[in-house]
Amino acid sequence: MKLENVTQIIPTIQGEGYNVGQPTLLIRYSKCNLHCPFCDTKWSRKHTSDKFSVNDILHFLTLYPIESLTFTGGEPLLYFNEILNIIRLVPLSVNRFEMETNGTLIATDNIKVHELRNFRLNISPKLQEDCHDGLTFDDILDLYHQVHVKLLKSDIPYTYKFVHSQESESRILRFTQNIENYDYQLYMMPLTPDRSKFNREEEFLSEFRINCQKTVEFCVQHNFRFSPREHIWIFGDLKNEYGDLRKIY
């Protein structure tokens, strides 16, 4: 089965959130239903010429004893049925699945939440108006409220992840006030600095460390969980971890 919209397949570790540090096979899809100006998926679309199929996934699973698949994007829920087919084809030794999603499509009827029972959903709400077409901030909050209500009726484990900055704090707090029943986990991640503004890697990482400290302070003030972004410390601004590291070492 060809995977026309997959741009990367990388054996790596989960770098964020609930399962940080866990080995996983990351499968990145290209397209998204939103258009966030800060999105890094544009990189994979521009620089990836490889074409993938399910056989590539199976090949990596023979090379490494990985028990987890992570689907990311872009927006993987655009490829809901294809992902379900992938899961049916991988060995039974792969028994954990995660999906990194902006969450907006969960509220639609075409996403059958009950078919995602083997998943942990890592939802990164996009609260900026310029990510959405014609929605106000109140509209966005209402959309995510619908998502939250739908998930509460399911037995799917899920978390919310936010990239923290001082500019985002008021929106994040409004989001948490707008939903009820805190039976999920909510993570705050530090903002990744713009690498192009620094001449040396050490300067970039120093700025990232400062952002980590600011995020920790926000977590302590509001009882949120801090999530490291381990890929930043390990890989810096390398996007293709699997290939790039082998060129370096």
Q: Checking DSSP bridges between strand 225-226 and strand 185-190, what pairing results, if any?
A: parallel
Q: Which residues share a beta bridge with 52?
A: 3
Does position 249 have pLDDT exceeding 50, yes or no? no
User: What band does 229 get if pLDDT is binned at 50, 70 and 90?
Assistant: very high
The residue that leads in pLDDT, 211 or 109, is 211
Q: Are 227 and 199 in contact (CB under 8 A)?
A: no
| Residue 41: predicted pLDDT | 64
For the segment 239-246, the average pLDDT, to the nearest whole number, is 52
Residue entry with tokens 């990311």: 72
How is 60-112 classified by DSSP, letter by letter? HHHHS---EEEEESS-GGGGHHHHHHHHHHS-TT--EEEEEE-SGGGGSTTS-
Burial 15-50, CB ≥16 within 10 A → b, else e: bbbbbeeeebbbbbbbebbbebeeeebeebeeebee
Lowest mean pLDDT among 26-40, 133-147, 209-223: 26-40
How far out from the chain centre does Cα 69 lie? Answer: 13
The DSSP 8-state label assigned to residue 193 in this structure reads P
Model confidence at 245, pLDDT cuts 50, 70, 90, reads very low
Split at pLDDT 50, 70, 90, the class of 124 is very high
The pLDDT value recorded for residue 91 is 95
Instruction: Decide if 141 contacts 175 (C-beta within 8 A).
Output: yes
- Which own/partner pairs from 88-91 qualify as long-range (CB within 8 Å, at least 24 positions apart)? 89/1, 89/54, 89/58, 90/57, 90/58, 90/61, 91/58, 91/61
Query: Does residue 244 register a pLDDT over 50?
Result: no
Domain coordinates in residue numbering, the chain = 2-248
| Among 58-72, 149-163, 222-236, the range of highest mean pLDDT | 58-72
In 14-51, DSSP assigns E strands to 23-29
Does the domain formed by 2-248 have CATH 3.40.50.920? no
The pLDDT score that the predictor gives to residue 183 is: 60
Task: Say if residue 15 is preceded by a cis peptide, omega within 30 of 0.
Answer: no
pLDDT of residue 134: 93
pTM for this entry: 0.91
What is the rounded distance in angstroms from the CA atom of residue 53 to the CA atom of residue 244? 21
Phi, psi dihedrals of residue 175, rounded to the nearest 5°: -60, -50
pLDDT tens-digit readout, 8-45: 999 999 999 999 999 999 999 989 999 988 886 665 55
- Express each pLDDT in 47-79 by its tens digit: 566 789 999 999 999 999 999 999 999 999 999
Of 237, 246, 124, nearest in space to 189 by CA: 124
- Give bridge partners of residue 120 from the DSSP assignment: 98
